Structure 1
Amino acid sequence: MEKTKTLATFAALSQSSRLDAFRLLIRAGSKGMAAGEISEALGVKQNTMSANLSVLFQAGLIRNTREGRSIRYFVDMDGLRGMLGFLMEDCCGGDPDLCRPVLDAIACNC
């Protein structure tokens, strides 16, 4: 991921409701969540949540699919991986032992 794209991801996550929605979608996993479910779970008006989801989508952090009249959202793991990869690409001056605690902390415990 390039620097400009990474900055867009950080800008998208720099607002409280968007960060909460992103983390909620990470927890939802491959099932994702409908826009209304996200709005209800976070106690945010649907039109406000729709705008927030649009920002996350444009930043490449989430993806969506239409299900009839509803839209289901999912974390875009490639976008997340790209952001984290950009941050870690020059990690630790060639000493992988320095990176290990960070990688262990973000590793999935599934």
Structure 2
Amino acid sequence: MNDADAVKALGALAQGDRLAAFRLLMQAGPDGLASGEVAGTLAIAPTRMSFHLTTLERAGLLVTRREGRRIVYSVAFEKMRGLLGFLTEDCCGGHPEICGVSSRLNQEDC
């Protein structure tokens, strides 16, 4: 991950509703949730939630798939791991274990 991609991803997460949606989708795992489910769970108007989910998708943090009439969002786990790795790669002089970074960041799935 480069600086520009990290800034874009962090900027997308730097808003309360988007951060809450991202965390909810992290909990949902690879199956994800439909946008209406995210909006309902977080008590956010569906049109506003759609805007926030699109922002996260454009930042590369979410992926979508269509299931009939529903659009299902899920976390782009590889991109999320890349962001976490980018943030910690220089931690403590190249010793990320000091920062408490789990070795799971290098695994293929969560």
Q: TM-score range by the shorter chain?
A: 0.7 to 0.9
Amino acid at match of 1:61: L
Aligned to 1:54: 54
In structure 2, the residue matched to 1:35 is 35
Residue 88 in 1 paired to residue 56 in 2? no
Backbone CA RMSD of aligned residues: 1.7
Separation of aligned partners in 2, 1:96 and 1:34: 35
Asked if structure 1 preserves the Cα contact closer than 8 Å seen for 2:30 and 2:74, the reply is yes
The residue number in structure 1 matching 2:12 is 12
Displacement of 1:97 in angstroms is 4.4
Structure 1 stretches of 4+ moved >6 Å:
none
Task: Give, in angstroms, the shift of residue 96 of structure 1.
Answer: 5.1
Between the aligned residues of both structures, percent identity stands at 46
Change in 2 beyond 3 A, CA 1:32/1:2? same
Count of residue pairs the alignment pairs up: 105
Residue 103 (structure 1) aligns with: 102
2:92 matches 1:69:
no
Q: What CA deviation, in whole Å up to 9, does each residue of 1:4-32 have, x standing for no partner?
A: 11001111011100000000000001221
TM-score norm. by structure 2 comes to: 0.87
TM-score normalised by the chain length of structure 1: 0.87
SS in 1 for 2:66: strand
Residue 2 (structure 1) aligns with? 2
Unaligned 5+ segments in structure 1 are none
Secondary structure at the residue paired with 1:38?
Answer: helix
Q: Which runs of 5+ in 2 are unaligned?
A: none
Task: Give the SS at the match of 1:53.
Answer: helix
Q: Pick closer, same or farther for the CA change 1:45–1:3 going to 2, 3 Å.
A: same
CA–CA separation in structure 1 for the residues paired with 2:48 and 2:62? 17
